[in-house]
Structure 1
């Protein structure tokens, strides 16, 4: 009798303890929060200065080749698994056309995977900085590229690359954030000579 009295409430508790059927979670977007960008002037052994986001790692891999007037600078963003690569070359009487063509060809190589390539002309006559910014949409290897020059002495190009297989939907928030950093680099270029 005692067992019957215990079994009935226990059985009732087990039967009624189950609630509604589980529901799948609603679809949602991954929320990625990045620190608000703060910029500081970079003035190292280069023929130009610029501003970079202080949230990036310090500049690394400054490659100097004084013979060929070539300089390379990497601005790393480890939390986003991306790097902005800057390449500086000295302009002479014969190489400006080649430098411009090479920068434009590099961007056009991404048309195989890109959904679109938007080009935006950049001009800052006060600092003698003229160039082009390219925003590459789709699963291309590089999401943003640019070049700037004074057409007489200086030529700087830059590209954004991520250390992951290109999946535009996944890298889009980071690509937008770093696109703004690239535009800030372009806008803050000052030639030293």
Structure 2
């Protein structure tokens, strides 16, 4: 009996260590490469700077795809010449944005106006689990119209793709700032 009490007494003191605490939440540590831009080197009615570590897929009708292989994402660029149909092109671009309202939590517009370079347009940041997190259109209002959409090749989960969206959003803003129309 005495040995049992001694054993219980020893076990009691051995087992009373520090309190066990749950592990703190871990956060995803994403490292993105330093940004270096180069001029788009294709014969198009437009030109702009793109991130060097992207892949360009040249498509018909002056369209192109700017791929981010490491992020499983792309910016799809469509080009249309204006032929007395600017209102139709703008309406079509906005319809595509607002198709995402089913899944979007919020759609945040941002306008671009640069009269010196004849660059006018809008960017729409779409929060929530929508298929595209950023859509934009740019025009010179007389001859050229560009529409762009950011897509990820994964099931949309806004919280997971948000850091990549922010990374690519800066490239889209740089694209708009460096856009030049060719005569």
Instruction: Identify the TM-score tier after normalising by the shorter chain.
Output: 0.7 to 0.9
Q: CA deviation at 1:38?
A: 1.2
SS at the partner of 1:98?
helix
Greater than 3 Å deviation, 4+ residue runs: 19-24
Question: What is the aligned counterpart of 2:81 among 78, 90, 93?
Answer: 90
Does 2:51 align with 1:53? Answer: yes
1:43 aligns with 41
Q: CA deviation at 1:21?
A: 7.6
1:59-78 to 2 correspondence within 5 Å? 59-60=56-57, 62-64=58-60, 70-78=61-69
Instruction: Tell me, yes or no, if structure 1 residue 134 matches structure 2 residue 130.
Output: no
User: Which residue, 154, 159, 166 being the options, matches 2:156?
Assistant: 166
Q: Tell me the equivalent position of 1:81.
A: 72
**Take 2:43 and 2:22, find their aligned partners in 1: how far apart are those partners?**
57
Name 1:27's counterpart in structure 2.
Answer: 25
Name 2:179's counterpart in structure 1. 189
Is there any run of 5+ residues in structure 2 with no aligned partner, and where?
A: 1-13
Shift of 1:96: 1.1
> Any idea what the Cα deviations from partners look like across 1:6-43, whole Å, max 9, x if unmatched?
xxxxxxxxxx7xx8686542112111110121111113
Matching residue within 119, 126, 147 for 2:137 = 147
Please give the alpha-carbon distance, in whole angstroms, between the structure 2 residues aligned to 1:119 and 1:141.
17
Matched pairs, number: 172
The 1-side partners of 2:71 and 2:81 are apart by: 31
